[in-house]
Amino acid sequence: MSDVEAPPPEEDAAAVAAAGSRSHVLLSFMPTKEFALSRKGMLLIAEVLLCFLAFVCFVASTAAAFVTAPLLEFLVALFLLFAYSTKFNQRFTSFHWPLMDFLRCVSASIIFFVISIISVSKYSDGASKAAGVFGFIATIVFAFDFYIIFNDLADFLKHGGQPSEETARRTADTRDDSSEYDSD
């Protein structure tokens, strides 16, 4: 009756297995639920989203000269989101991650503040104004992030380079959590 034959069940099962492995690979790039609900996770996700929105608005505006800054900040924030969520920063210890993150947040907040003021005051199109608004919100988020990082770094330095009891406890809890992911 039908000219088309159904594929053998072995081929069908292989296709389903391949699709499942592809989705597993894609899910491995997503932050874990625990990290996404943490303060650092929420800040990084907000930074990624705000940088992307500012980038899109700058692309659509007459202030397209400022498109590079949100794009670079988006890529760096996306990298750090990946690094922190996969605990890459704990495996690659040759960088001082909090200091690098602090410098990123300070420079991003200054850059976003400056380009937002310029785009809101100098350009009159709606996309430039929207980019400026998203830039101001990003400035606040980046400033809050560097304030938190600064307090953690100051606490670290206050204790003579040794982590405080609370920081040591959080680090031990994080290492215990990471051991359950290593077995997967």
The reported pLDDT for the residue numbered 174 is 46
Residue 77 CA to residue 87 CA, distance in Å, equals 15
In a domain, 10, yes or no: no
Token pair 């670290």 is found at 156
In a domain, 17, yes or no: no
Neighbour-count burial of 54, counting CB atoms closer than 10 A to its CB (0-12 exposed, 13-18 middle, 19+ buried): buried
Angle among Cα 138, 144, 145 to the nearest 5 degrees reads 90
Q: What are the phi and psi torsion angles at 150 (to 5°)? A: -60, -45
In a domain, 177, yes or no: yes
In a domain, 113, yes or no: yes
pLDDT value at 167 more than 60: no
Q: Convert 154-178 to b/e letters by CB count within 10 Å (16 or more is b).
A: eebeeeeeeeeeeeeeeeeeeeeee
Domain hosting residue 147, numbered range: 31-182
**Cut 0.75: pTM above it:** no
In a domain, 76, yes or no: yes
In a domain, 122, yes or no: yes
Structural domains counted in the chain? 1
In a domain, 127, yes or no: yes
The reported pLDDT for the residue numbered 28 is 60
In a domain, 13, yes or no: no
Q: What's the rounded mean pLDDT across residues 62-81?
A: 91
pLDDT value at 160 more than 90: no
